[in-house]
């Protein structure tokens, strides 16, 4: 028994004329989980408005990047990139529903809404360096998750009321989730160079006094 | 600011200050920095600066296999450590279409409710400490210590139970451990009833918690708060009832709400849920069926995506898992109950007295390592 309004799919389709890919499944406890992929990310706000009118709670926003399709001949591929770009471009890149190429750099942003226990997850796709509209004006709970996405991915959130860094310091380069960070670097967050700077300074001072 | 004689930029009789609370502060167990603008004794505005314990666990999770992530997610938070691998395993099971054996589902409920009991007692203990009622603090911690003994006796650990795995649980109960569990509950149950009585009658507690740090119901809904904070403000939502999982639909679950939205209401919800946890564990033990506790170790999780929710001691914990052809998750993301509470905290602290700041911060049962990951 789902607690969605019966015409949920129709309402979402009306809000997103470019098209949606809708699917829903109900588990043995009667809890329904629906997935709504948007063909056009610019219709996200309209879909958000439908959910807000239904009294949904925006409970989770996830930013992610689908890795590139596996490359069969890795080494040759690298060589080809230099000279034979035309040939490389011919390789078919998998497309999302709606036609965003999933080349390993595009983003998939999922918005999970709670409707009295049931879940509706809306998926928007954006190309590398692209942007999606902020939902903070509709849902207060979008504020922090959107700030977190902005600091971890090279993705812009348009019209965010407070686009400052959330957890990461300004000195840290952006898009941390898009870079390979060695484990030693990742876990070494608490150490500083303060000690070595002191040692070097005193060594310099000693050198200066001797000369 | 209402007076006509007030000159802009000049305070009359009162002084405006900005006081820092944290990142390291006696009232906080974990680092968070609050910049609090006060006018005399009253809080005007709060600015929260986070990120002191950001560890990049979401990044790390994508470099580990699904089974390794059971271990990793348990270490995100200490007080709701069990709920993390629980919700994560539920997401993986949804993708693979696995059904946990009945006995495993009961054992999952027992592990979750033992953690809830200990976690909620810990929070109300800290509240009495902040109120200045030290003997009560010692007493509740002693009661909670019995819950710790249960964890150590049954699971072998005092904090991280290591109970969950994809497809079920990694522990089983026998006569001896059921004995430890029931003896512990028998000891805790009357004690918690006494604590509830004290919370209802004791002047020191009532004076410092009633009508303090109020969060109105509309604000609770707007901020999207969950768990005891939401229920203390009249939002009648509990994942165990709204989106039942395991065998919660067969349990004597009681979801209670209060309309006042103050520190006292949140504490009373936590105490009631500690009592209800005992009733749920007893019911599980009574109905506990035989059979396997998990589906074995050779499980295949196909590519797919899923969202799973569980009611952690602090409220709804939600996991998003996306898998592909590799052993590692393509993306693993979670949102903890405390995440929205920080926003609500700004509303609770508005016009609060400086002396109440620590009590109000504690009343959201903050978990900072959870928030920042």
For chain B, say whether A139 makes contact (Cβ under 8 Å). yes
Locus of tokens 């049962």: B365
Beta bridge partners of B335: B318
Between 3.40.630.30, 3.40.50.10490, 3.30.413.10, 3.30.460.80, what CATH number should domain A8-185 receive?
Answer: 3.30.460.80
Phi, psi of A47 (to 5 degrees): -65, -40
The alpha carbon of residue A84 is apart from the nearest alpha carbon of chain B, in Å, by: 30
Locus of tokens 């200066």: A208
Region of A135 please: left (phi>0), alpha (psi -120 to 50) or beta.
alpha
- What radius of gyration do chain A's Cα atoms show? 23
For chain A, say whether B8 makes contact (Cβ under 8 Å). no
User: What value of ipTM does the predicted structure carry?
Assistant: 0.81
Residue B21: the pLDDT is 80
Q: Which CATH superfamily is domain B65-372 in?
A: Cytochrome-c3 Hydrogenase, chain B (1.10.645.10)
| Distance in angstroms (rounded) separating the CA atoms of residues B27 and B47 | 17
Beta bridge partners of B45: B37
- Contact at CB, A64 and B330, closer than 8 angstroms: yes
User: Using CB atoms, which residue from B245, B307, B372 is nearest to A33?
Assistant: B307
For chain A, say whether B93 makes contact (Cβ under 8 Å). no
Beta bridge partners of B332: B321
Residue A211: the pLDDT is 75
- Contact at CB, B335 and A169, closer than 8 angstroms: no
For chain A, say whether B64 makes contact (Cβ under 8 Å). no
Lowest mean pLDDT, pick from A61-70, A97-106, B104-113, B325-334: A97-106
From first to last of its 373 residues, chain B has per-residue pLDDT tens of 333 333 444 444 567 888 888 777 766 677 888 888 888 888 888 888 887 778 788 888 888 889 889 998 998 888 888 999 999 999 999 999 899 999 999 999 999 999 999 999 999 999 999 898 999 999 999 999 999 999 999 998 888 888 999 999 999 999 999 999 999 999 999 999 999 999 999 988 998 898 888 999 999 999 999 999 999 999 999 999 989 999 999 999 999 999 999 999 999 999 999 999 999 999 999 999 988 888 887 788 899 899 999 999 999 999 999 998 888 898 899 998 888 888 888 888 888 888 888 888 888 888 877 888 8
| A67 interaction partners in chain B (CB closer than 8 Å) | 324, 330
Show Cβ contacts of residue B196 under 8 Å, excluding neighbours closer than 6 positions: B268, B271, B272, B275
- Contact at CB, B50 and A167, closer than 8 angstroms: yes
For chain A, say whether B333 makes contact (Cβ under 8 Å). yes
Q: Are A161 and A136 in contact (CB under 8 A)?
A: yes
B58 labelled binding-site residue: yes
Return the closest-CA partner of residue B103 out of B327, B285, B272, B235: B285
For chain A, say whether B245 makes contact (Cβ under 8 Å). yes
Residue A129: the pLDDT is 79
Q: Per-domain residue ranges for chain A?
A: 8-185
For chain B, say whether A167 makes contact (Cβ under 8 Å). yes
Residue pLDDT, tens place only, A12-52: 888 888 888 888 888 888 888 888 888 888 888 888 888 88
- Contact at CB, B51 and A112, closer than 8 angstroms: no
| Distance in angstroms (rounded) separating the CA atoms of residues A162 and A145 | 12
Kindly identify which residue of chain B lies nearest to residue A66, measuring between CA atoms. Answer: B330
| Distance in angstroms (rounded) separating the CA atoms of residues A175 and B188 | 49
- Contact at CB, A140 and B343, closer than 8 angstroms: yes
């Amino acid at each position: 028994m789902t607690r969605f309004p019966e015409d949920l799919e129709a309402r979402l389709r009306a809000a997103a004329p470019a098209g949606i890919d809708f699917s829903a499944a109900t588990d043995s406890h009667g809890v329904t989980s629906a997935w709504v992929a948007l063909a056009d990310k610019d219709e996200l706000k309209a879909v958000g408005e439908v959910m807000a009118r239904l009294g949904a709670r925006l409970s989770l926003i996830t930013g992610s990047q689908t890795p590139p399709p596996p490359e069969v001949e890795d080494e040759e591929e690298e060589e080809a990139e230099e000279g034979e770009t035309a040939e490389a471009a011919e390789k078919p890149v998998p497309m999302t529903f709606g036609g965003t190429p999933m080349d390993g750099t595009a983003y998939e942003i999922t918005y999970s809404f709670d409707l009295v226990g049931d879940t509706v997850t809306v998926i928007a796709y954006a190309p590398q360096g692209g942007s999606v509209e902020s939902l903070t004006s509709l849902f207060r709970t979008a504020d922090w998750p959107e700030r977190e996405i902005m600091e971890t991915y090279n993705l812009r959130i348009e019209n965010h009321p407070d686009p400052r860094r959330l957890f990461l310091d300004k000195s840290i380069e952006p898009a941390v989730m898009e870079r390979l960070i060695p484990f030693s670097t990742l876990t070494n967050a608490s150490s500083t160079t303060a000690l070595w700077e002191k040692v070097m300074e005193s060594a310099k001072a000693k050198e200066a006094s001797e000369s | 600011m209402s007076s006509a004689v007030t000159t802009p930029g000049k305070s009359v009789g009162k002084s405006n200050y900005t006081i820092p609370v944290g990142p390291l502060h006696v009232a906080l167990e974990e680092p968070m920095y609050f910049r609090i603008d006060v006018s005399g004794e009253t809080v005007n505005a709060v600015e929260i600066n986070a990120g002191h314990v950001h560890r990049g666990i979401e990044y790390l999770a994508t470099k580990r296999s699904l089974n390794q992530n059971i271990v990793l997610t348990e270490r995100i938070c200490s007080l709701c450590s069990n709920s993390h691998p629980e919700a994560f395993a539920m997401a993986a099971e949804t993708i693979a279409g696995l059904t946990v054996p009945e006995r495993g589902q009961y054992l999952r409920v027992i592990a979750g409710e033992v953690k809830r009991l200990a976690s909620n007692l810990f929070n109300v203990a800290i509240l009495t400490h902040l109120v200045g009622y030290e003997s009560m603090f010692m007493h509740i911690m002693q009661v909670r210590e019995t819950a710790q003994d249960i964890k150590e006796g049954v699971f072998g650990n005092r904090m991280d139970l290591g109970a969950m795995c994809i497809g079920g649980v990694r522990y089983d109960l026998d006569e001896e451990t059921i004995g430890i569990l029931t003896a512990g509950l028998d000891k805790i149950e009357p004690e918690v009833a006494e604590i509830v009585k004290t919370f209802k009658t004791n002047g020191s507690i009532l004076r410092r918690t009633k009508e303090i740090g109020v969060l109105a119901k509309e604000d609770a809904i707007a901020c999207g708060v969950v768990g005891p904070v939401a229920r203390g403000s009249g939002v009648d939502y509990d994942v165990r009832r709204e989106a039942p999982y395991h065998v919660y639909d067969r349990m004597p679950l009681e979801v209670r709400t209060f309309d006042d939205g103050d520190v006292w209401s949140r504490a009373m919800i936590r105490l009631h849920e500690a009592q209800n946890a005992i009733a749920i564990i007893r019911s599980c033990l009574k109905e506990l069926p035989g059979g396997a506790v998990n589906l074995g170790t050779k499980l295949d999780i196909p590519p797919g995506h899923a969202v799973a929710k569980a009611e952690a001691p602090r409220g709804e914990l939600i996991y998003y898992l996306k898998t592909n052809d590799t052993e590692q998750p393509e993306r693993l993301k979670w949102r903890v109950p405390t995440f929205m509470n920080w926003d609500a905290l700004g509303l609770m602290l508005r016009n609060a007295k400086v002396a109440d700041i620590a009590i109000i911060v504690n009343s959201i049962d903050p978990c900072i390592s959870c928030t920042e990951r």
